[in-house]
Structure 1
């Protein structure tokens, strides 16, 4: 099942190390089948607030996403970003093609009633 890595970057930086990170990250993702889904788009905030920017990466599965993040190649460039940009990074599984939110609601209702 497809997996995603998401970063909510609360600060931005025009530091040369950040440029190097951006120039290099794709080559660290390629061996794991990773691709960008979103990279710093203008977001339309419908509820709450959203300081910063958003990055979403897609991988074939959770193991590929974890292996990419833990890889020596990515770990070598990670400080180029983290020294200059504050943010949070997550890895999570997607849902399958037959996912139905109504089934999830039924499970949640059942658990709440127990």
Structure 2
């Protein structure tokens, strides 16, 4: 069953660090099959506090999503993300085909 990693950027803190993260994060997917479903496009907050951006990644399974997020490569790359902006990040399992 597929799983999704959802990044909600609440507030930019350091645009240079965020740009550094964006340049380096791609290599963390090398051994982790994923599909980028939404990023940097228009969105509307229908309920809740305003946010800067939303990004959604699809992985083949919850385990695959967790393995990528907790991988040493991503954890190293995420250091610049955390310096660049405040985020909420979630992993959620998708619905199976009926």
Larger RCO (alpha carbons 8 Å, 6+ apart): 2
Task: Establish whether residue 82 from structure 1 lines up as the match of residue 82 from structure 2.
Answer: yes
Normalized against structure 2, the TM-score is what?
0.87
Distance 2:48 2:70 in 1: 32
Name the Cα RMSD after superposition. Answer: 1.7
Structure 2 unaligned regions, length at least 5: none
**Partner in structure 2 of residue 57 of structure 1:** 57
Q: What secondary structure sits across from 2:5 in the alignment?
A: strand
Matched positions, count? 98
> Which structure's CA Rg is the greater one?
1
Q: CA deviation at 1:75?
A: 0.7
Runs of 4+ in 1 over 3 A off after TM superposition: 45-50
Normalized against structure 1, the TM-score is what?
0.76
Change (3 A) 1:47 1:65: same
Distance 1:8 1:92 in 2: 14
Q: CA deviation at 1:44?
A: 2.6
Structure 1 unaligned regions, length at least 5: 99-114
Q: CA deviation at 1:11?
A: 0.8
Higher normalized helix content (fraction of residues):
1
